[in-house]
Amino acid sequence: MNEMLTKNKFLEIVESPKSSVLHFKKDVYDFVNDRHFVNTAKMVKDIISLANTIRNETAYIIYGVAEKTETSLKLIGIENEVTNELLQEKIKNKVFPRPVFSYHEIEFNNLRFGVLELPVHKYEAPLTSRIHLKGLARAKVYYRSGKNKVKACGSDVIRINEWLKSLPGSVNETLSDKVNEIILRLTKNEEKLSIILTDLLELSKKYLLRDIGEFCTSQILGVKENMAEKHKYRVQKVIVSASRNEMSFVQYDKIIKSINNQEQINVKDFEERYLLINHSIITVEHLIEQFNNRKNKLYELIQLNSQYNIQEDSEELNIFVFESNIDSLYRNIQQKTIDLLMKI
């Protein structure tokens, strides 16, 4: 990172004409009155656009400078209190890859000015916003052309990528690399899902991925809330009974025939229902092992509190699950994990 500007260097910059790598703003971002995160969006877009601009020198945003005319500027200073730590915190988890920049203030002619510096830095990909903000689309590349912030087209993105690749140095293993590795592990089906989810939970803590962390926790510990819409990947069509008795062979035979004939089950004490299966991934894997170890096993009996019953009955239910239910549940959790990772 470049050292803080001297007053002579500051004067040299503010006397320079506007360009793709030099931007002047009247005041620094007002985060106190940031309704709908409008000012946050402006900051994110400014930083992304400059970081993605193809150049061979440090880019600057100078705060406290107003335009008098198209070719002349007026030094007015800034009023808002902003620190480098605050800007770093504001942009954290909003931009990928994480931008490298610094912010400091300088006094000149008894006025206070803000200086944001973005050095030329080798990123693994052009910077994009990870979230939708006002005037800023998620996952879209922006760069500066003259004094304008421009949304990149396909050929622009290719050129920016090639420029980043051409920069000296190497890119350390990034969040993107680690996410790609986990996606590959999920698709290989060589490890238990419980192991991968545990590793993913640790990754979510390191990179502050709240949604991923909550998802992994709910799979590892089991779903704790009755939210079928949120966890619809866990909803299965199963056979339930309020009775604690095991299913007899005769009852099982009748039920299977009804299912095969696509008829409504009409067997005493048993019925089909859509249920949110809330069990932990360890329990799900244990059920899979039970079916694998006992090939003649027709079903497994599990209990589920009625709060996870979509039909909202009050009794505690005994659920008769078949191998197809558990296999489907396991695949759905696996696919949901991949879907969430693809959004990072």
pLDDT tens for each residue of 253-266: 666 666 556 566 66
CA 278 to chain centre: 24
Supply the pLDDT for residue 42: 94
User: How does pLDDT run across 3-50, given as a tens digit for each residue?
Assistant: 577 888 888 888 887 788 999 999 999 999 888 899 999 999 999 999
Low pLDDT (below 50) residues in the chain? 1-2, 314
Within 170-321, residue ranges assigned H as helices are 175-188, 193-206, 210-221, 249-260, 281-293
Task: Look at residue 343 in the predicted model and tell me its pLDDT.
Answer: 86
| Domains of the chain from N-terminus onward | 7-166 (3.30.950), 232-324 (no CATH)
Quick count: other Cβ atoms within 10 Å of Cβ 280?
15
Burial class (CB in 10 A: 0-12, 13-18, 19+), 312: exposed
Each residue's pLDDT tens digit, 92-107: 878 988 899 999 999 9
**pTM of the entire predicted model:** 0.56
Which residues are registered as beta bridge partners of 86? none
Residue 271 pLDDT = 75
